[in-house]
Amino acid sequence: MKDSYAQIVNSSVGKKVAGALGLPQPVELRRYAPGQDLLNDRKVLVVGGQSADGLAETLLDWNLEVRRHPESRTRYGAIIADFTDAATPADLQNGALAVGAALRSLGTCGRVIVLGRSTDHEDDESSPELVATQKAVEGFMRSLAHEMRKGSTCNLLKLAPELGPEHESVQGPLKFLLSARSAYISGQPLSVDPAKPHTVEADAPVDGKVAVVTGAARGIGEAIVRRLHDDGAELILVDVPAAGEALSKVANSVNGVALQLDITQKDAGSKIAETARKHFGHLDIVIHNAGITRDKMLANMDENKWGSVLAVNLASQLAMNRQLLDSGALGPNPRVVSLASTSGIAGNRGQTNYGASKAGIIGMVSAMAVDFAQAGGTVNAVAPGFIETEMTKAMPTVTREVARRLNSLQQGGKPEDVAQAVGFLASNAAAGINGQTLRVCGQSMVGA
């Protein structure tokens, strides 16, 4: 959908007027195109950390130029701030202020990547000082993300205690967050554990994998299908029989298999497993995208509106995951990605049913992480914020305009932005990420 406001304020007159009035000035985000450079500007400033040399080697491999000290009149494509060694509050100051000093030299659609530690491992006996310091790193990142300008983003990778920034498991997430694939992700933490098999390739991250996408006939589901196809996957596309015609169209365009199926059917998971076996022998990737809204204030909620939303958005996924795990059809490193929503994090007026179902998804991926790890895989969720789709096009104009601007990037995301995050979590580049929910919301002011 067209963002007319953004077009006006990006014209030469509009820029001046918006600047003078202090109005939001969304920048057109740099989005992924095959073969493009990883960053707009090749120079990367690496701040702090003792293992920066290993990290520098990785960055050089990615055709980036590494700087350890700020230089005058240099424009950086990214700043990487390594706080993995920070153990006391006093350890934060130098790194934080060094990032601050370099911020004005960050180019358009630049990246700040903060590296920290996760401190919540079961056998971990982290001191209160360490836990507090690393939580402070997260708070620093979230606030800095609100200060980013010109389409730039800031995110945090929390590394497991045994991982250095140069470790292979970290490279996939680092490359994703540096790249244009993460254009609409800002202010988000992601924990990374050591895992295999990890890969970091950018252009065909799911090459040869077999994927199923539910709700594939339109919207975000269709964008996910196209992303996974372009990234090398074979596809099974699921949608309700009523959407059969649209489903076939999308399926034909990617040479995929169309499966007309209501995911609330008791044996939906087994039917998907059967279809995968018949056409491809097995299944590697499951994308639970199908979802519905039936908004009503709770005082006016009826059984049907509550029941259908919980059945489609949550109960079906719990049942399908169980059936798929039991089916024996999953390949050796299965990847499951579910669509949650920022409404499941912050709640939303008129959406008690939808908010409950999407919060349930966040609980489900966290609880099933162990089951999928035992099967050699991962299960994660993506929580979109305001995305330009048919659904948001139907919102009243003023509500839509407010929702669109209430995030650090001051614009709505595109289905492609959600699809990129799903594609990343479905790939072996994200092998070290399990049980987590990644928000794709431009750091929406809604929710933490």
Contact positions toward ligand NAD, by CB under 6 A? 214-215, 217-221, 238-240, 243, 262-264, 289-292, 312, 339, 341, 384, 386-387, 389-392
Cβ of residue 422: shortest distance to ligand NAD, in angstroms?
A: 10
Percentages helix, strand, coil for the chain (3-state, rounded to 5) are 45, 20, 35
Cβ of residue 390: shortest distance to ligand NAD, in angstroms?
A: 5
Q: What are phi and psi of 127, to 5 degrees?
A: -75, 155
Rounded CA separation 183/203 (Å): 16
**H-run or E-run covering 82:** strand 76-82
Cβ of residue 331: shortest distance to ligand NAD, in angstroms?
A: 23
Compare residues 126 and 392 and give the one whose CB is closer to ligand NAD. 392
The residues with which 190 forms a beta bridge, in sequence order, are: 157
Cβ of residue 94: shortest distance to ligand NAD, in angstroms?
A: 39
Strands 189-192 and 234-239: unpaired
Where b means 16+ CB within 10 Å and e means fewer, 297-317 reads eeeebeeebbeebbbbbbebb
Cβ of residue 370: shortest distance to ligand NAD, in angstroms?
A: 24
Rounded CA separation 75/109 (Å): 12
Q: What are phi and psi of 444, to 5 degrees?
A: -60, 145
Examine the residue annotation and report whether 354 is marked as an active-site residue of this protein: yes
Q: Is 174 exposed, middle or buried (0-12, 13-18, 19+ CB in 10 A)?
A: buried
Cβ of residue 192: shortest distance to ligand NAD, in angstroms?
A: 25
- Provide the residue type at 56 as one letter: A
Q: CA 102 → CA 37, 79, 209, 227, 360, distances in Å?
A: 22, 8, 41, 35, 41
Cβ(213)–Cβ(256) under 8 Å? Answer: no
Residue of 5, 32, 184, 354 marked catalytic: 354
The residues with which 211 forms a beta bridge, in sequence order, are: 235, 285
- Provide the residue type at 118 as one letter: S
Cβ of residue 238: shortest distance to ligand NAD, in angstroms?
A: 6
Cβ(194)–Cβ(170) under 8 Å? Answer: no
Rounded CA separation 261/444 (Å): 34
Compare residues 136 and 224 and give the one whose CB is closer to ligand NAD. 224
Q: Which residue has the tokens 């701040």?
A: 47
Distance of CA 207 to the CA centre of its chain: 20
Strands 210-214 and 283-288: parallel
Compare residues 201 and 295 and give the one whose CB is closer to ligand NAD. 295
Compare residues 195 and 235 and give the one whose CB is closer to ligand NAD. 235
The residues with which 387 forms a beta bridge, in sequence order, are: 413
**Which residues form the catalytic set?**
354
